[in-house]
Structure formats: structure tokens, C-alpha cells
Chain A
Amino acid sequence: MLESRRALSYLASILFLFGLWGLLSVWLNNPGLPGPLVALQSLSRAFWPELARHLYISTYRVLGSLALALLLAVPLGLLAGRHPSLDSFLAPLVYLLYPVPKVALLPVAMVILGIGDGTKMLVIFLVIFNQILITTRDAARKIPPPLLLSVASLGAGKVSLYRQVILPACLPAIITAGRISLGSAISVLFLSETMAGNSGLGYFILDGLFRADYGAMFAGILAMAGMGLVLYIFLNLLEYLICPWQRL
């Protein structure tokens, strides 16, 4: 019952957004913004093997950078949250580097790493690393001390405390950080793919624009939106599976 109501509300939201989009396209009456039906038709007419190749490339760039950022930022965040001495070293670094627009480093990365996957993934990684690090550190800081003491009193060593208490306590925050980072990651991906190289959905969209093939352009935009939505749903599913207590 609850699930079907939720599905209906999602459907209603999609219809609402498409309605707004349709109205805007009628109002603007510009070939640069076709209506949703035209865009969907262009998606069905798109050269799928080509679009799928770009979709695949973009997906692994986003997922790869997200996975790498999680792999490095989560342990560092957990340690910084629990060890004030490490945090006192890290916090000023993070604070100083946070306002620096990492995207501005894209040209530097291009010079050093070329225009391949490495450049794009490095810039995405740099943008989302801080977000995950800070969220994880703050979650690790907030763990109620009695929870740690009660498990320590049962005989848990340092490693067991991380495995049994600190990591699970931070999991919901880590997944939330993943969700927020996903949005940033896709934005940076688009920018980096439009700036360098000849692959990925960003390139595909820009190529459509330059060829004035707005159908292809919108097929790329819809594919990118779809990719974001699927990855978002994937993170929700992950939370559902690994944080069952959060559902209560």
C-alpha cells in the first residue's frame, strides 16, 4: 500500500516536471528547447550503440570516482572523527582547500594526465572527497561515548570498535554524503567531458549542440538524467540493504 502510494507520488512528480517543461517549451517556442515528447522521441530514435557507449563511459567515470573517494575519504574521516590529533592536522587543510574551486584544476590535470579518463576522474574525486570526508568525520565525532564504552567493556579492541560501532554508526551519514556527492560528481563530469576528450555523455550533448542536432542533444541530456536517477536509486537500495535499522 505504502509502496504503491510512493510509486504514484514519483509518477506524479515526473508528470509534473514534464508538464512544466512542456509549458516552458511552448512559451519559448525555440528549437533549442523541444518539448518532452519530442525529446523522448529523439531518445528512441537516437543511435543507441553510440549513445550506450557514451553512457557506459560516463557511468564508470562517475562510479569509479565515487568509489575511490569513498574508499579513501571514509577511513580518513572515521579516524579524524575519533582522533582529535589527526583532526587538528587535517581540519585546517580541509578548511583552506574547501573554497578552492577544484574544477579550476581541470586544465592542470589535462596538462599532466592528458584528456583521458584519469583527468576527469581526478577532478570529480577532488570535488567530492572533501564532502565525504567532512560528513564522515562529523558523524564519527557524534557517536555517543557510552555506546563505545559499553562495547569496549565487552572486550572489544580498537579494530572491533571500528567494525562494530564506529563504521555502522556512520553508515547512514556516509550514504547521504554519497547521494550529495553524486549530484556534484555528475555536474563536474559534464563539465570535464565537454572540455576535453571525445567520449562520455557531456561530449555527446555538446556534439549534438554543435551539429544543431537538438534531438541528439536532448537524448544525451535525458540519458544523463536517467544515469543520475538510476545511480541515486542504487544508493537508496544500498541503504535499504545495509542499514535495515534505519527503516524503523
Chain B
Amino acid sequence: MAGETRLSLHVPEPEVRPGDTPDFSNVAIDRAGTIRRPEIDVVPEEIRDLAFSIIRVLNRDAEAVGPWSGLLDADELRDGLRHMMTLRAFDARMMLAQRQGKTSFYMQHLGEEAVACAFRKALAPGDMNFPTYRQAGLLIADDYPLVEMMNQIFSNERDPLKGRQLPIMYSSRAHGFFSISGNLATQFVQAVGWAMASAIKHDSKIAAAWIGDGSTAESDFHAGLVFASTYKAPVVLNIVNNQWAISTFQGIARGGAGTFAARGHGFAIPALRVDGNDYLAVHAVARWAVERARANLGPTLVEYVTYRAGAHSTSDDPTAYRPQTESDSWPLGDPVMRLKAHLIRIGAWSEERHAQAEAEIADTVVAAQREAERHGTLHAGGHPSPRDMFEGVYAEMPPHLRRQRQRAGY
């Protein structure tokens, strides 16, 4: 009876740590093409199982199969490949630039390129993303100028954000990309508010919220779900599960729940889980959720199962907390290689064209960097004025700030 059981605290641990052999054998992965595609007006209760499976389109033979395939033609797929390759090349250059001291900080997308690049193509002009710091693919897939991104990263004299914000915290209303805060989860609920406003005004635009697996533990994630559920807001609620929150494995945020997608069930929000390294699957699921929102059917929660192949940021060293070879063992492969293989398989691409595209993209990125560096880098060349620090705190500068600016000598 009472007193016979001594309590003990459960602290989850990942399967493996540095020095161990990576093991993803416990990750259940459905075969491509096997998960059904419901109608967008499906009753959420009827698709609860889709929060526990993984929707996949590309199979091991690089074929697009099943009910979620067939949405994109060869041109669109080649565009997608180019976007992902551009993002990867951009990341590589900027990681190097950070090592060279041209910027203080950078965050790369290695292994996760498909998620934002494919999602962006499911949106329409005027829709608004509320991204985290690992969705630059939304900008690249919308043809936002690479030079502008670099100007921001270098905090130079052309920085559209005037040097005020940490590198990679872009903002572009014109490209449907809400200003990145850098705080976690705060913007998840803001996306819901933006979507509510669109519904209040009988508009046709929808919003997309973004969050990482670790940040789903934040209260604002749950606030976003309850508001989205209550008001049936036209929003797509995206969870990018890249397995790692800096050094903390996803089990710490997920707890006893089977998946992150399952968090939607208590809110009666339809929840889908998708192969985040499969460009076609990401796009198909995004399109389903976007159509649903635009048809005034309410929110959808989507979990993208992917893997953060690189470090969290330039300030992080993953070898300290996970096996060095874990990335190679990730069972869902590499999104660029998988889409490339598919395009070759359908006769729309070749190794030669790929090599040529890689070279062209590298040239484009280098040319953009050269252009950006003409306007300065963090510690050299043109930089924003200290005066810019005082501007824009308010629509009109109040007297106390004017006095401080004068005292500072600007």
C-alpha cells in the first residue's frame, strides 16, 4: 500500500551518445505511397492515425508514388531542386564568412532544405509566414535577392534592417516573411492572430506558423493551438522536427506523446506527419493544409520529420552530444540527393546537368557575396550609422530619445 513504492524521476535519454553507434531502428517509417490522402474537409477525428504515420512520396527507387504524388511537373521540380541547392550553397558560403569574421553568427539548414523550399511553393502571394531562424528557404524559393540576405547577415550599409537585428533574422513583408524575432515560439501564436485578422476582414489570405520540435514545449505553442482551434483560424501550423534542440534530443520536449503531430488531437486540429526530406511529400501536404485553410476549414498541424545534419548555429558543436556519424545514418536520406535522383529517374535531369547547376549556383552565390561585401561586412567597410539605432523605436522619436541621440553625438 502507501509507502511501498519509492518514487523515482524519469529523465528521458536519447538512444545513443557520442562514441555509440547511431541507431534509428526505432523510427517507424512508412513505405512511400502507402498513406491515404483524405479530402480537405475530412472530420479531424477520422484522420487521427495520420499523426502517427509518415506521408512519403519518393520511394527507394526515386519514383513518386501514391495518392500524394503527381502535383508538380518537371519544371517545378527542377525549380525546387535549384532552390534547395541554392540554399545549401548559400549556407556553405555564409558559414565560411562567419569563420572569416565577416559576420558574428550564422545558422545553416543542412538536411532540412526541403521543408521551407517546398512549403513556400504551396502558398499564394499575400500569404504570410511567421518563420523561425531555419526557414530561409521560404525567401530563396520566393526569389528574394541573395544580396539582400547577405547585406543583412553582414550588417553592412545596405542592411535592410539597419544593423539592428542579429544576422539571419530577416524580414520581408513583400515576400510574405514576417520579421524573425529570435525568441522561440512567440511567433507561433502571432501567426494565428494574423490569420484571425484575415478572417475578420473576410480576406482570402492565410498564415503559416513555424516552430521547432524543442520549442513546442513553450507555452506559446499551446496558446497558438488553443486560439487556432477556438476560432478555426486559417493557418497552417508547422512543426519542424529536426530531432535536436541545440543539444537536447526531441524526447525532452515530446515527453510521453508518440509524436509532435499528436499534440493537435486535444485541440481537434487535424494533424499530419510527413517525410521532411521528401520535397514532393512536403509540398503535397503543405498544399493540402493550405487549401484547407483557404477553404475556411480551419487550421492544420503538420510535423515535418527531418534531421538537423549540421550544428545548431556557428556557436554549437554537435560532436559533444551526439555521435559524429549519426547524420549519415538518418534513414530519410538527404533532400537534395533524393529530388535529384527522382529527376534523373523521370528523365528530367542528369549528372551532367546537376554538376553544371552546382557550378552555376556557386557562381551566383559568390557573385552575390562579392556584391554584398562591396557594401561592407560586420567589421569592415560600410556599416549602418549609430544614428540608425535611435530611429524606428517609435513612429515619431519622443523627446527623451532625441535628447539621448544628441548626447551620443548623432
A is bound by B: no
